Amino acid sequence: MSVADLIPKTATEIVSLLKNGEVTTGDLLDALEQRIEAVDGTINALPTLCFDRARDRASAASKDSVLAGLPVAIKDLTATQGVLTTYGSPIYKDNVPDSSDILVQMLEAEGGVVYAKANTPEFGAGANTFNEVFGRTVNPWNTSRSVAGSSGGSAAALASGTAWLASGSDLGGSLRNPASFCGIVGFRPTPGRVAHGPSDLPFGSMSVDGPMARNVPDVALMLDAMAGEHPVDPMSLARPAESFTDAVKAKRMPKRVALSTDLGGITPVDKEVAAIVEKAAKVFEDMGCIVEEASPDFTDVQLVFQTLRAMQFAAGKKALLEKHRDLLKPEVIWNIEKGLELTMDEIAQAELARGRLYHRVEQFYRTYDLVLSPATIVPPYPVEHRYVEACNGHTFSNYIEWCTVAYAFTCASCPALSVPAGFTADGLPVGLQIAGRPRGEADLLSAAALYETAAGIKSGIPIDPRAGS
């Protein structure tokens, strides 16, 4: 098959071709190499390539595995043995790990073949993908616009046809924001669903790894390859008896769905984005679901997220601040210093507030199966802007607050995804965030796939980069 035949296919279709012997991993790598040469010079989604490593390891991928030899792109926050892994920081511009993160090991054990590292902001901080090592990644839909972050390279690669599957990670919305901006699907699972590490903070429950793809069934496929417990990750969960692919095929319809464009007033939302999300919610009504205006009570979400995020930065990166302050970007320095200034009382109050928030949200899900909201509160913004400073007259207090609509569900340990909801008048993608109850990935993916089919949004991805101003 030609490059033109292979690149537009879904990951699920490609895996079927691999298992039937109609294509080889080598064929796929050749196609990707040609596609990257054609478009990635404009996008800068995959700055580090490792095709020689991929071809050396292709023969080890079993056709009986989940991915059967499918090439996979890995976010540059994730250590990959023998491949440059910079974390988007000049401190690590020459770092080549001796071993891979558990996430990479799990994917390779299930037939994934790593061929590239996807661009990310420094240490994943900031929902715009740029760094001092590789520069900025731009949006394939309009190259003057941001891809958001921090999994922006992965999202842009999927949208521009240089990946069928790509990994991402998410603390404040880093799987969902780029998916929304690029018109693809990004899925944040429950903490522990995807094992990762080794980590200096192995008991953390805010940051998770997850799959990104062009559609919901492909996300479920990748999650099947990623999920499972591992002794190095004490938070990791056992792989469920039912595969996520089978859960999607089961077509389980939610009964009652909550809709809130501002999650109970905790964030401003661009009016055009809100209208697109409200229209997307009507798809659930058309499918026969009860859709009601309602939201979990996210009181104290800023206290919880801003405090615990800062504590994580201080714990994990204090040594970098002491040794390499001149190489860190301002947002990272701010977050580390904010953490170092925290008192024990502030940390205790945030932990207690998170416990109360979790129990309120869990109670809410006894009435509603899903919560619908925007995945991002604005359309893709100019790439030169470091972050969104204001929306609807509200000026944000720091560089991450504009992502409140996403990190509210982080604080509640809920699985959540962004799936295409429509386009602005300027033709820019907008994502619908669908959030489910903790550990409810199977039902969430099943419902999201039903929505995706019923909505019938024709994005036409993968697309060639589109110039804009």
Can you say whether residue 425 is alpha, beta or left, with left for phi > 0 and alpha for psi between -120 and 50 degrees?
A: alpha
Can 150 be counted among the known catalytic residues? Answer: yes
Give the number of other CB atoms < 10 A from CB of residue 126.
28
Structure tokens at 224: 């099947």
CA distance 437 to 441: 8
- Block residue for tokens 């842009």: 156
pLDDT digits (tens, 9 = 90+) for 275-299: 999 999 999 999 999 999 999 999 9
Give the number of other CB atoms < 10 A from CB of residue 288.
9
Tell me the mean pLDDT in the region 223-247: 97
pLDDT band per the 50, 70, 90 thresholds, residue 458:
confident
pLDDT(267) > 90: yes
Q: For the domain that residue 175 is a member of, what is the CATH number? A: 3.90.1300.10
Q: Which residues form the domain of 56?
A: 3-303+343-455
Give the number of other CB atoms < 10 A from CB of residue 97.
16
Whether 234 contacts 104, CB under 8 Å: no
pLDDT(468) > 90: no
Phi, psi dihedral angles at 185 (to 5 degrees):
-115, 125
- Please, what sign has the CA dihedral across residues 350, 351, 354, 356? negative
CA 456 to chain centre: 22
pLDDT digits (tens, 9 = 90+) for 355-409: 999 999 999 999 999 999 999 999 999 999 999 999 999 999 999 999 999 999 9
Can 323 be counted among the known catalytic residues? Answer: no
The total number of structural domains in the chain stands at 1
pLDDT(459) > 90: no
pLDDT(142) > 90: yes
Can you say whether residue 3 is alpha, beta or left, with left for phi > 0 and alpha for psi between -120 and 50 degrees?
A: alpha
pLDDT(3) > 90: no
Whether 75 contacts 154, CB under 8 Å: yes
User: Exposed (0-12), middle (13-18) or buried (19+): which is 309, by Cβ within 10 Å?
Assistant: buried
pLDDT(40) > 80: yes
Structure tokens at 463: 């697309």
pLDDT digits (tens, 9 = 90+) for 400-457: 999 999 999 999 999 999 999 999 999 999 999 999 999 999 999 999 999 999 999 9
- pLDDT value for 209: 98
pLDDT band per the 50, 70, 90 thresholds, residue 234:
very high
Pairing of strands 370-374, 138-139: unpaired
Can 174 be counted among the known catalytic residues? Answer: yes
- pLDDT value for 202: 97
Q: Is residue 9 part of a domain?
A: yes
- pLDDT value for 399: 97
CA distance 19 to 16: 5
- pLDDT value for 184: 98
Q: Is residue 461 part of a domain?
A: no
Q: Is residue 153 part of a domain?
A: yes
Q: Is residue 351 part of a domain?
A: yes
pLDDT(62) > 80: yes
Catalytic residue among 100, 146, 150, 413: 150
- pLDDT value for 230: 97
Q: Is residue 325 part of a domain?
A: no
Q: Is residue 460 part of a domain?
A: no
Q: Is residue 318 part of a domain?
A: no
pLDDT(469) > 80: no
Catalytic residue among 9, 75, 117, 329: 75
- pLDDT value for 4: 86
Q: What share of the chain is helix, strand, coil (3-state, %, to 5)?
A: 40, 15, 45
Residues in a beta bridge with 420: 431
pLDDT(100) > 90: yes
CA distance 260 to 298: 12
- pLDDT value for 74: 99
Q: Is residue 15 part of a domain?
A: yes
Catalytic residue among 160, 169, 174, 236: 174
